[in-house]
Amino acid sequence: MLWAVEIHPASGEVDREGERVVLSARELGAATVTAVVASRLFLLEGELTEAQVSAAAAKLLVDPVAEQADIRPVLAEPSSPSAPDGVTIYVLFKPGVTDNTAESTRKTLLDLEFPVTAVATARAYRFPATTSAADVQRVTDKLLFNQAIERVMRDALRLRTLDVGHSYEFELKTVPLRAKSDGELVTYSETGTLHLSLAEMQTVQRYFVDLQRDPTDIELETIAQTWSEHCSHKTLKGRIRYRDEQGERHFENMLKETVFAATQTIRQTLGTDDWCVSVFQDNAGVVKFTDDYHACFKVETHNHPSAIEPYGGANTGLGGVIRDPLGTGLGAKPVCNSDVFCFAPPDTPFDALPKGVLHPKAVAQGVVAGVRDYGNRMGIPTVNGAVFFDERYLGNPLVYCGTAALLPVDRVEKQVAAGDYIVSVGGRTGLDGIHGATFSSIQLDDESETESAGAVQIGNAVAEKKMMDVILQARDRGLYRAITDCGAGGFSSAVGEMGEYSGAEVWLEKCPLKYPGLSYTEIWISEAQERMVLAVPPENWKEFEQICAAEGVEATVIGQFTDTQQLVLKYGSQQVGEVAMAFLHDGRPPVIREANYQPPEAAPFSGAPQSRYDDVLSAILASPNVCSKHWIIRQYDHEVQAGSVVKPLVGAGCDGPSDAAVVRPLLTSSRGLVLSNGMNPRYGDFDPYWMAASAIDEAVRNAVAVGADPSRIAILDNFCWGNTDRPETLGSLVRAALGCHDIAIAYGLPFISGKDSLNNEFAVKNAQGEVTSRVAIPPSLLISAMGQMEHVEQAVTMDLKRPENMIYLVGATHPEMGGSHFNLVTGATGGTVPQVKTALAPQIFKALHQAISQGLVSSCHDLSEGGLAVAAAEMAFAGGYGMELDLPLMMEATGLDIPEVLLFSESNTRFLVEVAPEQTRSFEALWQDLPCLPLGEVTAHDRLKVFGTDGNTLIDSSIRDLKAAWQGTLDWQ
Amino acid sequence: MAKPRVCVLRAPGTNCDVETAFAFESCGGTPESVHLFRLLEQPQRLQEFQILCVPGGFSYGDDIGAGVVFASQLRAHLFDALNEFLQADKLVLGICNGFQTLLKAGVLPDGQVSWQRQQSAPAQSTLTWNENGKYTARWVRLKVQSPQNVFLRGIDEIDLPIAHAEGRLVTHDSGLLSRWQSAGQAALTYTEWLADGSQLAPTWATNPNGSLGDLAGLSDASGRVLGLMPHPERYLFATQHPQWTRRGLRGAGAGLKIFQNAVNYFS
């Protein structure tokens, strides 16, 4: 028997979901949608009487004060026709999609001794008869459900059972690869969703010709997963012939010779003072922090899944990156998260969307909710982030999630031993996420939304939290020898990586499944979430299993590490695959790729002087990249774990934009961890080299501004690019990597880890299904920084503190308007892109850090988008005080007399610093020959005033108005 | 008495247990982080403790509603153990998800009285979705209305952070609020943030979630049980205050006092 418990808000309570739909329908232009009644449903299956269902509703499902419910049976073919007075749309998950609420409900009802066999949740939306059929359809398609994971039923639920899964009959599948022609190899690679190139397929073919047999399907899948761009990063770690205006350069391994090489150079220079511990080898980079703990940091992307199902994509993106430090060394405990998003403008008209593309506002809302629900439930504070908007992210949003963690100093090394059990811990394996690794390595098109649904998943944060809790206990008892996360490629990648130097035998029939019916290959490559793989010595297994069972976490022996250097896969008594580890990890054929970079034609800055700049300043503050992100920040728990020191929003109104986050990750130590980021895709259109330089400079500026020690900042790279098969796209990436190399060395900042995501393009098709255009994202290099500070009480925030304090500008200003926000809001063009002065910048960071450590700085803010004027405005409205600045000294120092350049140039390595009058002498003494200009002072009034050469007013705006402009753009409900 | 023993009771999805235990320990208590499953195996273990604290987090994912599953476990399996604990001269604290759990289980609003009543009568009050419909993380200022509550002794007003989606106290019983007020159970109310002399102040609503009577926390009539939505364990250090750099705050945080009061009750 199948029952529905339909729950509405009690009388007097607001129907928020219904209101949300009406509001969103208005934005969509569905004018006849004026009222919607929303409800949520539990579907209960089992030998249940109506009285039992009522009792279950009263005891567990329905809040007795805030909600009311009605109960009815669900039938496969309901006899009564739909209610005549409108349309009801039911939204259900597709069978097999993770439904956390349903699973909790099922377990709890069983615990309360209700005989349920299955539970599902659903939502219902009732439209009154006055709603047009077209509007119901439009709202249903655009607002109510996502066909990647959900399905709809009209007017009534028609269901026989909630059962999923089917019986599975073992059948070994062999692929006749040896006989295939080149053309057939290519076809097979595509239709079998292996996504391997012809050269790669030929290499695989030769391997099996030598073995004198054809491969099984699982062998091909294993090779395809391991060789996928997502797992092997074959493009950037491969051979590249690069040409630019300075000539030609050949790379054997591009990343190794740029980003990694910078770190090696820095470590050699540091010698015995080297504070890196593990770089580019484990799942996260590791550096020294205290005597007892190292700090780890990793940032990942989850772009393709987020394009199709933003909530699930972002949810599992964060869930995945949390497992990276947990799988680093013998397991690091996460202490904070970061997130950076790139979206198309949220005001994009609905009718401008290509087929198959979700609206950017829906993407943004889904992504933020996904990060919120996972991070908050995990109990890991999300402390730092950024959002960028550009038309080119339509169809290809970027979702970067990062996690910093602490690793005990004696838990860094891991090494599996032959005989160790291969143990799977955490969630069960299902059909979810099949082909995620290969899917994330290809381009999206309008069919992606339907074709790739299997690759989209929803996370279960509590399952991951439980898994983390038991793993950290087992780590402290020393019960396992190695650990890694099950990410892209599932068991295939995790076991393949861990057993690379030993060998492994896997017993696939032992893997616990969510439901029956999975083939041995599906078990092997499923990317079901919340799973880790550990190497547990047999003598520790019993104790390990007990720790897991004590907190309700499933742990299963699924195989054993060997010393055969072979990967052997079995299903019951049958061997279903055997591949040499050496072939798997080193057999991929090298490919030489072409990369060209041609600098764009330089164009002079077209801006013309104006008498006043109040409107420009307001417009930049209101621009989506600069504006307040409080809508996002306030939904994230940024205080859990009790380590918050500098919050994302600070100041008199607790609403000014912090430069970076400071946390105290150990309750027993005052040492601080600083998280910041730098990114500016707009500069990449001018020169990716200087874009990379600027991103690094910005990340460091942000960290140093709050008090981080510039000699202890580690950075991460995340390259998100378009299709690098095009030489000019790959060329721009190499150009950025060269920038990373040079600036990291000049600044002494080791890269400790990184990740890339290529092929971020969307193919727009016409009605005939022909590709009419491709939208590639702009070059998007995110630099994430993890800094340290001796004592968190030295931290500084960016809000003005006291009238009559002095304001200094430190750092040199140049006429660098290329890619600036001044150009963006005024329509001006041209100019040169900001560069960095590698000799000067480290000295500026050092002097500023001395000033902050000595307590000489009342507030400090870095200059980035919008330059001096924006930084001054933000400090003023964050602090609740006015500011008066005079530009003549700056004109004298720079030789520039163009006010818009002085106010809005985005030159790097600059800060505005507030210093109390009694500290100015000590402060100035630190700067000697370095650029440091007294520009003005803090005032008790509420205006920002900036004066030009002859005392003329350039800006005179109320800080209330400036703040209102800054807060208004993304003030979403 | 020597150091009181504190049971920091965590369920799957609880995530504030570490800092909550640290808070009690800093104040001289002897906390133990106890998994709910251990207590379900041996309910009488609860009597070894003087203080029961249900910390914050997302017990069981808050999947059916905040604290609902955790509460159902307490009611179904720990009725006698909690009954005995509530009868003794002991203390119970629920923070955020712990408050939601205690209220939905029936430990609040009336301590032992409502715990015994919950078997027969439906609850008259609940914690449900914030008026803004969103999870909200920010700071609030609180006014103590039940100075006789053990945890709140000597505190008049205090700044603490909130981080919740379902913190709005609701009832259909129009007389309930005044009964709580006269019985000293309306423990904490949201009150106006202190201005700092600058031109601007927070523009957020004083009451962050639309809670009945601006209530942020409830006490039982004995003053030995407290549930509150704000997180005192997130203000153990001055540097956790959102304006510590403006106000020159250093050293310990004001939230510690709530834990100190609990520990002192047994000394």
Query: Mean pLDDT throughout A644-648?
Result: 98
Q: Annotated catalytic residue: which of B7, B166, B233, B241?
A: B233
Across the interface, whether the CB atoms of A667 and B198 are under 8 A apart is answered: no
Question: Which residues of chain B does A111 touch, with a Cβ-Cβ cutoff of 8 Å?
Answer: 72-73, 76
Across the interface, whether the CB atoms of B135 and A372 are under 8 A apart is answered: yes
Exposed e or buried b for every residue in A914-933, given b needs 16+ CB within 10 A?
Answer: bbbeebeeebbebbeeebbb
Q: Residue B35 sits in a domain of what CATH number?
A: 3.40.50.880
**Chain A, window 874-933: residues with a beta carbon less than 8 angstroms from a chain B beta carbon:** 877, 879-882
Q: Return the residue matching tokens 């209330």.
A: A960
Model confidence at A449, in pLDDT bands (50, 70, 90)? very low
B233 part of the active site: yes
Q: What is the pLDDT of residues B192-204, one digit of tens each?
A: 999 999 999 999 9
Q: Which has the higher per-residue pLDDT, A848 or B121?
A: A848
What the block records as the tokens of A432 is 């979810």
Task: Identify the CA nearest to B92 among candidates B112, B118, B71.
Answer: B112
Residue B125 forms part of a structural domain = no
**Structural domains in chain B (count):** 1
Query: Among A89-103, A119-133, A277-291, A612-626, where is mean pLDDT lowest?
Result: A89-103
Phi, psi of A440 (to 5 degrees): -75, -5
C-alpha distance from A442 to closest chain B C-alpha (Å)? 34
What is the predicted pLDDT for the residue at A782?
Answer: 98
Residue B99 forms part of a structural domain = yes
C-alpha distance from A786 to closest chain B C-alpha (Å)? 20
Question: Which residues of chain A does B123 touch, with a Cβ-Cβ cutoff of 8 Å?
Answer: 64-65
Residue B124 forms part of a structural domain = no
Instruction: List, as own/partner pairs, every contact residues B41-49 make where C-beta atoms lie below 8 angstroms and the sequence separation is at least 24, other chains included.
Output: B43/B77, B43/B78, B43/B80, B43/B81, B44/B81, B46/B7, B46/B78, B46/B81, B46/B82, B46/B84, B46/B85, B47/B81, B47/B84, B47/B85, B47/B88, B48/B5, B48/B7, B49/B4, B49/B5, B49/B6, B49/B7, B49/B85, B49/B90
List, by residue number, the catalytic residues of A. Answer: 230, 302
Across the interface, whether the CB atoms of A379 and B139 are under 8 A apart is answered: no
Query: Among A157-171, A639-653, A750-764, A768-782, where is mean pLDDT lowest?
Result: A157-171
pLDDT at A444 over 90: no
Q: What is the pLDDT of residues A42-53, one digit of tens each?
A: 999 999 999 999
What is the predicted pLDDT for the residue at A98?
Answer: 84
What does the alpha-carbon distance between residue A690 and residue A21 come to, in Å, rounded to a whole number? Answer: 44
Q: Return the residue matching tokens 């029939």.
A: A509
Model confidence at A457, in pLDDT bands (50, 70, 90)? confident
C-alpha distance from A122 to closest chain B C-alpha (Å)? 13
Q: Return the residue matching tokens 């005032």.
A: A939
pLDDT at B36 over 80: yes
Model confidence at A160, in pLDDT bands (50, 70, 90)? confident
What is the predicted pLDDT for the residue at A455?
Answer: 55
A776 at interface of B, judged by CB pairs closer than 8 A: no
What does the alpha-carbon distance between residue B91 and residue A261 come to, in Å, rounded to a whole number? Answer: 59
What does the alpha-carbon distance between residue A340 and residue A325 come to, in Å, rounded to a whole number? Answer: 18
Residue B28 forms part of a structural domain = yes
What does the alpha-carbon distance between residue A266 and residue A54 come to, in Å, rounded to a whole number? Answer: 68
Across the interface, whether the CB atoms of B137 and A372 are under 8 A apart is answered: no
What does the alpha-carbon distance between residue A636 and residue B135 come to, in Å, rounded to a whole number? Answer: 8
Task: Identify the CA nearest to A291 among candidates A706, A624, A666.
Answer: A666
A791 at interface of B, judged by CB pairs closer than 8 A: no
Q: What is the pLDDT of residues A368-401, one digit of tens each?
A: 999 999 999 999 999 999 999 999 999 999 999 9
Strand bridging mode A116-128 / A37-46? antiparallel
Residue B129 forms part of a structural domain = no
What does the alpha-carbon distance between residue A111 and residue B71 come to, in Å, rounded to a whole number? Answer: 13
C-alpha distance from B17 to closest chain A C-alpha (Å)? 9
A7 at interface of B, judged by CB pairs closer than 8 A: no
In DSSP terms, B164 is beta-bridged to B136
Question: Which residues of chain A does B239 touch, with a Cβ-Cβ cutoff of 8 Å?
Answer: 645, 664, 792-793, 795
What the block records as the tokens of A690 is 């200087």
Nearest by CB: B68 against A60, A376, A550 = A60
Q: Annotated catalytic residue: which of B7, B96, B164, B241?
A: B96
Q: What is the pLDDT of residues A862-917, one digit of tens each?
A: 999 999 999 999 999 999 999 999 999 999 999 998 999 999 999 999 999 999 99
Across the interface, whether the CB atoms of A635 and B137 are under 8 A apart is answered: yes
Nearest by CB: A104 against B64, B126, B201 = B64
Q: Could you write out the DSSP letters of every residue in A184-219?
A: HHHHHHHHTT----HHHHHHHHHHHHHHTSPPBHHH
- The mean of the pLDDT values for chain A is 94
What does the alpha-carbon distance between residue B233 and residue B8 come to, in Å, rounded to a whole number? Answer: 12
Residue B130 forms part of a structural domain = no
Question: Predicted ipTM?
Answer: 0.97
A873 at interface of B, judged by CB pairs closer than 8 A: no
What is the predicted pLDDT for the residue at A770?
Answer: 84
Of how many residues is chain A composed? Answer: 973
Report whether A43 contacts A124 (CB < 8 A).
no
CA distances from A379 to A302, A630, A954 (A): 21, 20, 47
Question: Which residues of chain A does B245 touch, with a Cβ-Cβ cutoff of 8 Å?
Answer: 646, 650, 795-797, 799, 801, 859
Query: Mean pLDDT throughout A512-521?
Result: 90
Across the interface, whether the CB atoms of B170 and A460 are under 8 A apart is answered: no
Model confidence at A445, in pLDDT bands (50, 70, 90)? low
Range of the domain at B202: 5-119+135-264
Residue B183 forms part of a structural domain = yes
Residue B12 forms part of a structural domain = yes
> Three-class SS of residue A696?
helix
SS3 string of A254-284? HHHHHHHHHHHHHHHHHHHHCCEEECCCCCC
